[in-house]
A and B are shown apart, each in its own frame.
Chain A
């Protein structure tokens, strides 16, 4: 090992490293169990999912995913036998439970709503946030600190408190239960995060680049477009992912302000029920599909996480 990297007097000993590692690994494994359980449950059949004791080993099945995407009705065995051969796997599984598929469920439209609202609001929040952050970072804005604090303070309100007047306002404007209404609302919530994060990122880009570009004859706007934006792409991407995650995960506003056409996945997933209560494999299947994008983003973001969750207050 190391003649070159001489041991610092304060470096933790090999033994303490081993113990620390063991505790951390144990914690990580235990804390991940609920998520693994969601994943496992999504591949169980309904009887397997509610077995006692909980089944660790089971025959994997896609029934949960079938149930997630379809609605089913109970039929007599005579009727089911009178139908032709099953067309696909889901059809076959459903018939084994003496049911037939009645049609698609609402999961797909709700999932699409989540996509539209999350991406729409993220785009708007990052667009507005980038402009404002540049404004605050580069120009002497009167009362800048107060304005920045005002922007942050809008995030301190309990969502339900804001939801009451928003509910009334949207009812007047015809924005209740519309994707546009939700995009506007999420943009407003996210723009505070976007401004604070992006201001940090833009502050780190030396002014000299723009000044050089302006001496070269670019206008301020061109300098912003050609020198600042390209350098801020990492920051903008990280900010966008944080906004996306917030809008994707948001529940309170969605549950109170949407009920039908614009409902997103978070208020929908808990309402998935089968015969005699919650259809846990289907709920788990919906949850799994809903969580996977976030897992990917978390891994992509791991270097910027700290900054994002503290509104740029801690930068490492």
Chain B
């Protein structure tokens, strides 16, 4: 009834007025809907980014805002690329990213492959496995300090129970060679479910008829795995690696609470260096330059990777 009236009114209204009555044009509406988001991102993300780019060419220090700001040109960038500590931090980051991704991909894919067998109750156990990745890395990472305590901690106790090494010798957080592994273990514990979930989607996307055809051709299970399962799940595995790679390259919260970069600087990943330079030494200009380098590195690597991913997808 109401609709009919509206329709009649609309039909009887002359064109220019009709546009007014029917509201703004689609194009206007599109911009009205999209612009608030773009404006917010410009204000909170892009403007600060440009500010950081500007600061990266200066000797500005946030704790001395009244000092005269000098333009240094590319001096900050040159100093960073020549700074041995920065390169050590980059190596620490690379070590962390490499091992977490390798372990998470191997374990995650294996778990997904097993869950894909659809045993009884698999849905319940899958949900249980997913829980760690939803939790706050900071709050949970903080609690791992307790689990890692050499005597009273559950982790050290369990390891000594299994291996027979006295628990006082398992200094996960203060031993120089164990500390990098302490953060890799927590990250792997938290994020393996993430890789697993994406791999599972990949395995479920493989149509059954391909396996049936392989079965008809008497392809062995081994052969089926290498010629069907793995190649067809590969784009998904690569996607998981991309997301984890970006996240772990930026890793801050868990490491900051677990080791704070220590002992010494053995677990000082790039974000921790950045925090120390920016908020402890207050070298704002210098740390801005480092931040820009990091951002360009993530962005560049991610772009190259996405190109490779698209190639694999097209195959």
Contacts and interface: CB of A to CB of B under 8 A. Distances in A.
Contact of B117 (A12, A153, A306): A12
Interface residues on A, range: 35 or more
Interface of B: 3-7, 9-10, 22-23, 26-27, 29-34, 36-38, 40-41, 43-49, 51-52, 55, 62, 111, 114-115, 117-122, 125-140, 142-147, 151-154, 157, 167, 189, 192-194, 197-198, 201, 204, 208, 211-212, 215, 236, 239, 243, 246, 249-250, 252-253, 256-257, 270-271, 274-275, 278-279, 284, 287-288, 291-292, 294-295, 298-299, 302
Contacts of A314: 198, 201, 236, 239
Query: Which of the listed residues B114, B118, B153, B271 has the most CB atoms from chain A within 10 Å of its own CB?
Result: B114
Nearest to B224: A10
A294 to B, nearest CB: 5
26 contacts: A20-B117, A24-B129, A27-B111, A34-B147, A38-B143, A52-B152, A131-B36, A138-B30, A147-B34, A158-B250, A159-B250, A160-B278, A161-B292, A162-B49, A164-B48, A188-B40, A188-B41, A191-B37, A217-B5, A218-B6, A220-B29, A255-B138, A266-B139, A266-B253, A270-B139, A283-B142
A20 B146 contact: no
Interface stretch (A61-69, A81-89, A296-304): A296-304
Contacts of B40: 128, 184, 187-188, 191
Interface of A: 8-10, 12, 16-18, 20-21, 23-25, 27-28, 31-35, 37-38, 41, 49-54, 128-129, 131-132, 134-136, 138-141, 147, 150-151, 153-154, 156-169, 184-185, 187-188, 191-192, 195, 215-221, 245, 248-252, 255-256, 265-267, 269-270, 278, 280, 283-284, 287, 290-291, 294-295, 297-299, 302, 305-306, 309-310, 313-314, 316
- Chain A interface main SS type: helix
B154 to A, nearest CB: 5
B114 A20 contact: yes
Contact of A161 (B120, B135, B143, B274): B274
A50 B132 CA distance: 24
Residue of B31, B139, B252 with most chain A CB atoms under a 10 A cut-off:
B139
Contact of B201 (A156, A265, A306): A306
